[in-house]
Chains A and B, each alone.
Chain A
Amino acid sequence: MSEVLWNTAASFTAQSTSITTFDSFAVSVVVKIAFALGLFFVVPIVGGYLEHKVMGRMQARRGPVEAGPFGTLQLVADGIKFIQKEDVIPRAADRWVFAAAPGVALVPGMLIFLVLPFGPGVFALDLELGLFYALAISSVSVLGILMGGWASANKFSLIGGLRAGGQLIAYELPLILAAITVAVQAGTLSLVGIVEAQATFMLPGTEINVWYVFPQILGFGIFFLAAMAELSRPPFDMPIADSELVFGYMTEYTGIKFAMFLLTEYGGMILMSALMVVLYLGGWQLLPGVPLPGCEGTGGLFDCGVTGTLLGVGITLGKIMALVFLMVWARVAYPRLREDQLQRFAWLVLVPLALLNLALVGVAKVVF
């Protein structure tokens, strides 16, 4: 946290590249918080709408159609409904832990939005340790889930919470190993720096610019699968497993707290997709080696004018939604794994592959 404050303070004096940084510290902080919060509440709703629609059509349904034009406001309507619902706390529950759990799960998601670059200069902070920060903060979410599972005083919740703990630990490892590999190749932990490194990365011996997804296709696959498991999304939804555990750690939650858990899931989907876009898909670049219109100036990636900036944000969001679509597609197509299959898959397949990937990239980095 002191890192954030320190950086925020630093950006007050230093000439920052972020468009959310102003000369007045107070204004700057307010704008950054509003930026992160706005993204956190709007983008997941768009992602959720996409999921509703795509899942509906893949199942020969229509998905939401009534709320707003083409059902676009369905998730807003759902949110209003959740707010109106009675907030039930089981008598045997550990009241304070029970009440705090959704917040503990939700807030880390908001905090990651601080470091994610969405376009040329469109980010709140450019932390030196951006990738480290993002991965560390996202792991806090599991604490909220464990708290919720434990505090509910319900066997289904407890089993769900413990499953979530086991699953998140198992998949954290390949996720981090894949991310480290990117950091090794880029030579930086800053998310903005990684995007920049991809813009200048040439295939060895040629002048062809490529994103990291090409040399690290294996790492991308590992990261994608591990991210889906981290988010407990089908086919990796054992912590929720509605046919076995009612609703896992969310069983006893109602109303706004339940909505917070749901928002954590959708927000997590956006976050993981955004991380993948930044790490592997070249951030806000349209095509490898093709500068955005307006970005041809001396500032390169970061000085694009108004149109270039807006276009960059649009491209980032488009890539995020494409990845969300992939996640939904996998969700519709595949049934849930069994708990033992899940653990086996993580420890016997993903971790060795991630280590192999790291070794290969490390060797290649030294050789070329």
Chain B
Amino acid sequence: MATTSPPGVGLMKGLAVTIKHLFRYPATQMYPKERPDLPPRTRGVIALMDENCTVCMLCSRECPDWCIYIDSHKETVPPAKEGGRARTRNVLDRFAIDFSLCMYCGICVEVCPFDALWWSPEFEYAEYEIDGLLHEMGKLREWMDTVPPPPPLDAGAVPPAEAADAIAKKEKELEAEAAKQQETEAKEQEAAAPADGGDGKPKKAEVKVEGAGEIDQETYDQLIAEGKSERIARSKAKAAWVRKEKERLAAEQEAGGGDDAPAEKPKAADVHVEAGEIDQETYDQLIAEGKSERMARAKAKAAYVRKQKAKLAEEAAAGGGDDGDGGAASSEAAGDEAPEDAEAAEPKQGKLADVHVEGAGEIDQETFDQLIAEGKSERIARSKAKAAWVRKQKQAQLEEGGGS
């Protein structure tokens, strides 16, 4: 008895509620006369886009009711190129769903990796005979015409992975363009200033900006104030940040690289880095931005690799600098570990493949543990760890050889 009201108040409230509803419009949908207003993802019937189906059998195996029947045969496809290998391919013969068993759980639609199964909101397919509920391929294909387009995403939603990739690609293009423009500008400047000799001006296109994630707060605020949508403002601000960062780096490089003529900068691609670690900073940042865990991990890994490469290249360049053709003064970090690496770095460059290592079977436990921890399958982790072990062995041999 937390609240006590005078007797009769509750009774009056009851009467008030019911009389209010008497004069409201009833909620009934007059179904056969009025069509119900169904959302696009209503679980009405399952449609099959048979050209997308690769007969992977996932749907059939995952169906809790085992009511998806698939028959197929293998066909050999002639090689696409002269001298290529002939391939085999599964061809769908029969695809049927028994809707008298189906419980509309949606697992099959969810599990299909090739977007071959879709939900359609159609629901009027009752039959007088139960056999009629076994929909064969043709009928399932016809349902495909009734699948509505997906509803638009909410404002500010994370874009789908495909769209995100496309945006990243476009960003990269813009980046390259901007870099080219800067280069021409720099050349003009150079032409104006007295040339201090040296062909090794770092190319602007090579300037890589790390950490695609920061945004230029100023630009962002401005765009928001102009009434742009959050999504657009964010992406533009990101581009602005990248542009600014590039300018800054280019300026730094110019300042450092102007003095001397460095030998050819070691190309990043030549340096091998053990993949596996991720760049924690990038990862945290991406997660904070609301990216999916998968995407953040992949990008962070790439960032890590990039950083490692940059570092190794610097080291290598510093080592080369001792030999006499001037240090690569690309950034501040060069030089600390140069003395130790100097001997190893040179021979490592070319001769790794020449060294033969015995004992294919051991694995590099460290690499293995790491990969497992990252969620890789055991098989992959093992093979990579084996490769890592071989690599280490070779390096050790080379070092021995170099030392002696």
Contacts and interface: CB of A to CB of B under 8 A. Distances in A.
B130 interface: no
A100 B24 CA distance: 44
A341 to B, nearest CB: 14
Interface string B1-36: 000000000010011011101111011101000000
A333 B28 contact: no
Contact of B21 (A58, A62, A65, A334): A58
B26 to A, nearest CB: 5
Contacts of B18: 58, 329, 332-333
Contacts of A329: 15, 18-19
A333 B15 contact: yes
A206 to B, nearest CB: 31
Contacts of B23: 57
Contacts of B24: 57, 60
Contacts of A330: 15
Given A62-B26, A62-B28, A57 B21 contact: yes
Contact of B14 (A57, A61, A333): A333
A178 to B, nearest CB: 20
A224 to B, nearest CB: 14
A319 to B, nearest CB: 19
Nearest to B26: A62
A56 B14 contact: no
Contact of B17 (A54, A62, A333): A333
A57 B19 contact: no
Nearest to A59: B21
Nearest to B24: A60
A106 to B, nearest CB: 30
A334 B24 CA distance: 20
A332 B19 CA distance: 10
Contacts of B30: 62, 65
How many B residues touch the partner, as a band?
Answer: 10 to 19
A65 B30 CA distance: 10
Contacts of B14: 333-334
Interface string A38-70: 000000000000000010111111100100000
Contacts of A61: 26-28
B28 A58 contact: no
Contacts of A332: 18
Interface in A54-107: 54, 56-62, 65
B11 to A, nearest CB: 7
Nearest to A57: B22
B27 A60 contact: yes
A65 B29 CA distance: 12
Most buried by A among B11, B15, B22, B27: B22
Contacts of B21: 57-60
A54 B22 contact: yes
Contacts of B19: 58, 329
Interface in A248-302: none
A253 to B, nearest CB: 30
Interface in B19-61: 19, 21-24, 26-28, 30
Contacts of A54: 22
A249 B22 CA distance: 32
Most buried by B among A54, A56, A57, A330: A57
Contacts of A65: 30
A56 B26 contact: yes
A58 B22 contact: yes
Contacts of B17: 333
Contacts of B26: 56-57, 60-62
A58 B21 CA distance: 5
Nearest to A56: B26
Interface in A237-253: none
Nearest to A325: B22
Contacts of A59: 21
A35 to B, nearest CB: 34
A193 to B, nearest CB: 35
Most buried by A among B11, B17, B18, B21: B18
Interface of B: 11, 14-15, 17-19, 21-24, 26-28, 30
Given A58-B18, A60-B24, 20 more contacts: A54-B22, A57-B22, A57-B23, A57-B24, A57-B26, A58-B21, A58-B22, A59-B21, A60-B26, A61-B26, A61-B27, A61-B28, A62-B26, A62-B28, A65-B30, A329-B19, A332-B18, A333-B17, A334-B11, A334-B14
Interface of A: 54, 56-62, 65, 329-330, 332-334
15 contacts: A57-B21, A57-B24, A58-B18, A58-B19, A60-B21, A60-B27, A60-B28, A62-B28, A329-B18, A330-B15, A333-B15, A333-B17, A333-B18, A334-B11, A334-B14
The 10 A-B pairs with the shortest beta carbon distances in the complex, nearest first, are A333-B14, A58-B18, A333-B18, A60-B27, A62-B28, A62-B26, A332-B18, A57-B22, A58-B21, A58-B22
